[in-house]
Amino acid sequence: MSVTSILNNANSGLIAAQVQLRVVSDNVANVNTPGYVRKIADQVAMSSQGVGSGVEVVRIRLATDRFLQAASLTAGAESARNEVRYELYDRIQSLFGDPGGKTSFFAQVDGIFSAFASSAEDPTSSPRRQDALFKTQALFDEASRIAKQIQAVREDADGRIQSAVDKTNNLLAQIEALNVEITRAKVVNGDASGAETAQAALIDQVAQLMDIRITARPVGGVTIRTSAGAMLAGEGAATLSYTRAGTISGETNFNEIWINEPGGTKHALLDSVTSGEIKGLVELRDVEAPAAAARLAELITHVADELNRAHNANTAMPAPNRLDGRNVGQSLESALTGFTGRTTIAVTNPAGVIQQRVDVVFNGATMTVNGVAADPTTFLATLNAQLGGAATATFTDGKLSIAAANSANGVAIADDATAPSNKAGRGFSHYFGLNDLIATDRPALYDTGLTLASPHGFTAGQTMTFRFSNDVGARIRDIKVTVPPGGTVADLINALNDPATGIGGQGSFALAADGTLSFTGSGNPPAKMSVLNDTTQNAANISATELFGIGAGVRISRADGFSLRSDIRQSPAKLALGQLNLSAAAGTPALSAGDGRGALALADAGERTTSFQPAGGSPGGSISVSRYASELAGEIGGNATTAKNRKESSAALYTEATARRTSHEGVNMDEELVLMTTYQQAFNASARLIQTARDMYDTLLGMV
């Protein structure tokens, strides 16, 4: 080996040792830098014609383990998903209060029934009446507040989705820019480790927003795809697009989140991700919060309905001068058809003595009024004729009203004790809401009592637009259905279920015996349906979706529409705490001021078994209001606990995955100290070799 070769070998060693020392120096300097990945300089031996010719550093790379990185990114996405779900669901749970506390929402439900029980002990006590009414109004005010706050949580989630989309776009653009920088450095065999470290930190941030898959590019840098394979970066940066909804209510349909790939292909983001913060926000906004709101709406609707059932079966003393019903969303003829049993409408004087009495016997499509035959089309005229001018019944905009002619008299209604009037489980007064205690600004009961032969009341050509989504919330398609020329409910359902012009390809509608219209999605998992637009309107100014409760949105919106009837709130004496005595002898009072049977009925309303509709994952069924409230309290608390456990479990898994990744990628001061000593010695050895070669060269020159 020549002296020149020795010098070249020593020089290569000197240069390699300098590079190694610089790498070690960078590692030590960044020992406490978050996200810093340890650098490694790959050193190889050089040879020429089989003879060693020194060493060189062929590249400087990061100490990255792709498997540990993938595990950490996956765990991080799942942790972020469960973290945000717990954070927002915990807010929802806090709205209801401690389920076991005395001031919680569920305690208020029990409180109103207890207050009415107290009123029954002394029906003439104004303070007890006022207390019962105060607690009743407070419950419905609280339900309205909670419903609105749940929508506020959804609005917060929607805003955070928009922020996450904007953040993702910014991160992807930076990652793609670093791809270019890394590739440029690789081409000239430069040090790209700084850009790679910065890129790794950005990738970690993207993985918190959505689950991703990372692959290294041969030319340097990375390719990023969603778990379903949609391109995010590597061949240009993809962009996510999302437009926020406006004012959010239970009926809001949110816009799709799109991935616009560099090549122009467009994908629904929800089809491409299974975890991450965006996924968690969407699940909370579109599944968990609406489920809680739907259960609340179903509960508060039946609290109102059972209180109204008891109140309609009773009357105040003296009886109110007029009874104004609620909008039943139908024509009078349609609403009357299907009634069975007997009811009595009485006009009483201030002392409670009956001045005029009308007994109505229902028999499906016919009826008698004081023995006079009638049908739904002639009922109103026949009733007014039998009232003999003592009172007048009218039907306008879906509402039945009965008013006494003499301002001093009142109107009271009572069902026969052995054969009470009935349609869809409600008596005559209850069905029309003639003496409701709780008023609502929209239809709230969807067991309409309609049959397939009933007229639906909507005009041909009016339309409803439905949106169908898959199990992850991505849109399948939107379908517009037109009201057909036929006027029966059967015609409407057939048009809805038509495979060509209706929603038949996505599921089907069916009418139950009580007039409830339900939708069943097809496929596995079944498609989910929501209502985008509804232009239908009948003579009662009610749309088809409002009448039948089509879609979860319109059902959720019920919760903030209930309130104590204004005239009773202003005058507690109008509270119906007594019953009309149909057996009272002529000229004797049929009403008594000390009668507390109505108060007992109101107190027992919470224990009466009633039929709940499916809501928020609950199958519904026959259960009491109090039991339903208890189950909802347990469900809300259980869901919050489950969300917390998932958050803690996924956070622990992420911590472990990150710790293992950090132990491999992070800087170990002991190891770096050993390496620094090693390369210092290598540097010194190379320098000594150069000095020795120089001495040899000087000696040889001196010998010449």
Closest CA to 296 of 146, 154, 518, 107: 146
Mean pLDDT over the full length of the chain: 91
Please indicate whether residue 152 or residue 246 has the higher confidence score (pLDDT).
152
Question: What pLDDT digit, counting tens, does each position of 691-703 carry?
Answer: 887 888 778 788 8
Write out the two tokens for 410.
């009142």
Q: What residue type is assigned to position 585 of the chain? A: A
516-526 mean pLDDT:
92
pLDDT at 667 over 70: yes
Write out the two tokens for 288.
């968990």
Question: What pLDDT digit, counting tens, does each position of 320-332 carry?
Answer: 999 999 999 999 9
292-318 mean pLDDT:
96
Question: What pLDDT digit, counting tens, does each position of 110-169 carry?
Answer: 999 999 999 999 998 999 999 999 999 999 999 999 999 999 999 999 999 999 999 999
- Which 8-state DSSP code applies to residue 211? -
pLDDT of 1: 59
Question: What pLDDT digit, counting tens, does each position of 354-404 carry?
Answer: 999 999 999 989 999 999 999 999 999 999 999 999 999 999 999 999 999
Q: Is the peptide bond before 99 cis (omega within 30 degrees of 0)?
A: no
pLDDT at 70 over 90: no
Rounded CA-CA distance 169/386 in Å is 74
pLDDT at 647 over 80: yes
pLDDT of 10: 77
- Percentage of the chain beyond pLDDT 70 is 100
pLDDT at 22 over 80: yes
629-654 mean pLDDT:
93
pLDDT band at 68 (very low <50, low <70, confident <90, very high): confident
Residues 511 and 449: beta-carbon distance below 8 Å: no
pLDDT of 191: 80
pLDDT of 156: 94
Closest CA to 606 of 630, 633, 632: 630
Sort 396 into a burial class: Cβ within 10 Å, 0-12 / 13-18 / 19+: exposed
481-499 mean pLDDT:
95
- Lowest model confidence (mean pLDDT) among 117-121, 261-265, 342-346, 362-366: 261-265
Rounded CA-CA distance 56/9 in Å is 10
How far from 542 is each of 26, 535, 550, CA to CA, in Å?
A: 72, 10, 13
pLDDT at 15 over 90: no
pLDDT at 673 over 70: yes
Residue 244 parent element (H or E) = none
pLDDT of 40: 79
